[in-house]
Structure 1
Amino acid sequence: MKFLYSLLVLSLFISCAKVEPQSATTSEVNFQKFIVKQSQYQMDKAQDIFLETPWYIYDENNHIIWPIFTVYALRTQGQYYKFQITDYYNSKAQPGHYSIRFENQNAEIIERVVEAQGCGNVYTNQDYDQCVLDPKKNIYTYLNIQTGQSFKTDQEEAKSRNDWHIAFNGTNVRINSGKYGPGDVRVANLFTYTDFFKNNIADFQKIAEVSFSDKGARFFNLELDPKNVAYSLPPGVDRIIYEDQWFRVDPATNFHQATKENWWLVRGNRSQSYFRFNISNIEEITNEDDIETVFHFKLYKQSETEEQFNETPLHWKLPSFSSKKRLIRACYDLDSQQIVNCKTQDWEIKFTALNRKNQRRWKIEVSSGAIGPLSEEDILARKSGRNL
């Protein structure tokens, strides 16, 4: 093992020796074109952001994991951060030692170091396939970005804990949300320096130049707004208005209760209209062996001709429905506040209920995309839904 570490140190030294001083031309590169610009409105589709936009590239010739200094945004409990993985090795060239740069909403930059060797990487660990099957070795390190505290635990326990935001195991990264945990963490790609790759071939010389100088600070310090970016749905969450974010179940009564603190920006289907959307109440009563349900929606509308959301909220009480009916499907036109035909008319929200004995399964789908969940403070600060 010491021999491998020595070899890695030598490889890093050789790579460093090749690096030439950064030229004035390089420092004057227009980085603005590498800022990710796409609609913030998300459809009902899960995405693993760390697979879609990896934080590293593997140098097969030198067996080195190089960070490529992608800048990510992270949202949790109404707080926004940007972060960047800047190193994967410690001073002894041991892998799995993350250096991570965070910036919070107060523009305070914090450096975190996390030891998370775990099973390493499929490229560098010849026993990787066996390692991931061993729960004693396949261990993630879980980081709370607000406190800086980290801990190791098995993946089953992590699924029930809210005291972490992001976790690492070798080169794998996951967040506390979806199938990995009960949290509300969302991650987005803010900046990707694609000039590291010409014709889809990694330029390790250029990557090394950044790695051995400011470790991507030139990218991180750009004017990047973590609020106005497309946050993808995490693995295990394939609907933007997801069940555990808009209702919860009272175990004593089996009644559903609205999670009224969560809001969404919903894009209109047939026109340039937008809505601040909230499920403000769910009324339920028992009717013999069945449950009668009434939804209450709270809306702020921005019509096609308005520059901002109307300041007066709209309250829409929907007709009741019963769990006696096995399958319920209803489409809601937020523009007209009417229930419409799902196949022949325009709608923004589709509700589906599948009722079986002692079990009710609900889901909401969107037709044209939404942003959320957002806190009430956050959504009221957004004066317009247009051009996002």
Structure 2
Amino acid sequence: MKAIYLTLFSLFISCSKVEPLAEKVVEESFSDYITKKSQYIEDQSSDIFEETPWYAYDENNHIIWPTFSVYALRTNGSYYKVQILDYYDSSANPGNFTLRVEKEGESEKFLHFQATGCGNVYTNSNYENCLNNPLTNIYKYLNIETGEVYDFTDSQAKASTKWDMAFNGTSIRINAGKYGQKGTRIGSLFIYTNFFPGGVVDYQRIAEVSFTDRGARFFNLAMDLRQIPYSLPPGVDRVINEPDWFKESAEDSKLFSPINKNWWLVKSSEHNSYFKFNMAEINETLLASDEIETELVIHSHYQSKDDLEFREELRVWRLETFSTAKRLVRLCLDLDEMKSVHCSKEKEKVDITFLALNRTPRQWKIQTTTGAIGPLSLEDITKRKTGRLK
């Protein structure tokens, strides 16, 4: 293991008073620490690496200890298990990452790269100045499939789909939201909370894992990468996020066109029913008055409360047309009945709400009532036979 870990481990052995256990310890089940939350998420962003940190900082010894948490990454229609194993190289230099990665259905592999950046406030006494200097505050951009690492400026990274995760010291980003346009999502798959008994970090327990299998006991558990919630990254406040379902038209920048490759699973607000949801068409016409008339076409597959699976029938719903003559357009949609309902008087029937603010530039958004899953590729959504998930 790394020199810095060996030094600390020897200190634990020589200085700590560790008494052998008098009684036999009941063997724990690591499966108890696998995420069991609902996949359906609401319209609220979060930073998964703040909610489930990938490391613990040992202030007394100034060491970053990976906690061997396992994350699930969904990117470009594929799923990966990701685990951070190391933050140091063999000479104890920080910012040198080792990742264990396994694509769904394939064997694990190890990725090694350097991404020191500014470190963090604990390890860099000049941290604030480093952050303000674009020559030092640099992320390294990783393609999780190929292992390639890119040097991008923030603007280059925002426009690129070559990368999936970015690293700068202990900070991690994904290619979505305010950092990128790839639509990558990440979720917490496994976190071993016994590293933090009573909210206090047990560094000796972490050291034991570090010097043995480096978290393989966690990583190799049977875990379904599709059966967890994927959080909305910073800069994304809606599950059905605008860049994932529409864009400027290539023919006329004043008009919008659909991104109909993406699908979502939507949960009904009123019934125990579910929908495969897709914005299939956006038909817009520029009128002589310079107003824009819009027709939205939704495709869906339906699963009622009595259905065991989604029905094969593709439902096509052409919404009522609207135009920019009205400053604010609000459509409250009942997906069960495929009709618009009164937003306040029939609130219990509203599954999704479409809002259009007709000013320059025009702003559209879709809000979910009880949560959704996505964006998902056509291949992914086709494999999902039911919305009634564990």
Q: What TM-score do you get using the length of structure 2 for normalisation?
A: 0.94
Q: Counterpart of 1:128 in structure 2: which amino acid?
A: Y
Contact 2:4 2:92 in 1 (8 A): no
Distance of 1:287 and 1:368 partners within structure 2:
37
User: Is the aligned partner of 1:10 residue 2:13?
Assistant: no
Partner of 1:317: 318
Question: After superposition, where does 1:1-388 map in structure 2 within 5 Å?
Answer: 10-15=7-12, 28-253=27-252, 254-288=254-288, 289-345=290-346, 346-357=349-360, 359-388=361-390
Distance, in Å, in 2 between the alignment partners of 1:252 and 1:16 is 70
User: After superposition, what is the alpha-carbon deviation per residue over 1:149-206, rounded to whole angstroms, capped at 9, x for unaligned?
Assistant: 1122322321111111101111001101110111111000000000011110011110
Structure 1 residues 102, 35: CA separation in 2 closer, same or farther (over 3 Å shift)?
Answer: same
Which deviates further from its counterpart, 266-275 or 104-113? 104-113
In 2, distance between residues paired with 1:322 and 1:154? Answer: 39
Aligned-pair distance for 1:47?
0.7
- Residue 66 of structure 2 contacts residue 87 of structure 2 at CA under 8 Å; is this kept in 1? yes
Q: Could you tell me how far 1:286 is from its partner in structure 2?
A: 1.6
Shift of 1:46: 0.5
Deviations 1:3-47 (A, max 9, x none): xx9877633543476799x99977942111101110000110001
User: 318-327 or 66-75: which moved more?
Assistant: 318-327
Residues 307-326 of structure 1 show CA distances to partners (whole Å, capped at 9, x for unaligned) of: 11111111111111001111
TM (normalized to structure 1)?
Answer: 0.94
3-state SS, counterpart of residue 358 of structure 2? strand
Segment drifting more, 23-32 vs 325-334: 23-32
- 1:236 to partner: Cα distance: 0.2
CA change 1:303–1:8 in 2 (3 A) is closer
After TM superposition, give the deviation of residue 106 of structure 1 in Å.
2.3
In structure 2, the CA distance between the partners of 1:375 and 1:25, relative to structure 1 (3 Å rule), is farther
CA distance in 1, matches of 2:90, 2:117: 18
Supply the distance in 1 between the matched residues of 2:271 and 2:159 (Cα, whole angstroms): 42
Structure 1: how far apart are the matches of 2:156 and 2:297?
Answer: 36
Aligned residues between the structures: 383
Paired with 2:13 and 2:100, the residues of 1 have a C-alpha distance of 22
Contact 1:250 1:257 in 2 (8 A): yes
The worse-fitting range, judged by mean Cα deviation, of 250-259 and 182-191 is: 250-259
Asked whether the 8 Å contact 1:9–1:93 carries over to 2, the reply is: no
Question: Once superposed, which parts of structure 1, at least 4 consecutive aligned residues long, lie more than 3 Å away?
Answer: 5-13, 15-20, 22-28
CA–CA separation in structure 2 for the residues paired with 1:185 and 1:58: 28
Give SS of 1:356's match: coil
Any idea what the Cα deviations from partners look like across 1:245-265, whole Å, max 9, x if unmatched? 011111541221111111000
CA contact (8 A) 2:181 2:243 kept: no
Say if 1:298 and 1:314, in contact at 8 Å, map to a contact too.
yes
CA gap of 1:375–1:7, structure 2 versus 1, over 3 A, is closer
Mapped contact 2:45–2:231 kept (Cα < 8 A)? yes
Q: Contact 1:15–1:208 at 8 Å: present in 2 too?
A: no
- C-alpha distance in structure 1 between counterparts of 2:141 and 2:4, whole Å: 30
Partner AA of 1:279 in structure 2: M
Q: Quick one: distance in 2 between partners of 1:102 and 1:330?
A: 43
Q: Does structure 1 conserve the Cα–Cα contact (< 8 Å) formed by 2:267 and 2:351? A: yes
Q: Measure, in 2, the Cα distance between the counterparts of 1:212 and 1:18.
A: 18
CA distance in 1, matches of 2:67, 2:273: 39
- 1:237 & 1:365 partners in 2: Cα distance? 12
Instruction: Say if 1:211 and 1:25 are closer, same or farther in 2 by CA, change over 3 A.
Output: farther
Contact 2:33 2:192 (C-alpha < 8 Å) held by counterparts:
yes
Give the CA RMSD over aligned residues. Answer: 2.1
Conservation of the 8 A alpha-carbon contact between 2:9 and 2:207: no
State the alpha-carbon separation in 2 of the partners of residues 174 and 201 from structure 1. Answer: 27
The residue type equivalent to 1:201 in the other structure is V
Report SS of the residue matched to 2:362: strand
**Conserved in 1, the CA contact under 8 Å of 2:356 and 2:365?**
yes
Q: Measured at CA, do residues 25 and 109 of structure 1 come closer, stay the same or move farther in structure 2, by a change above 3 Å?
A: farther
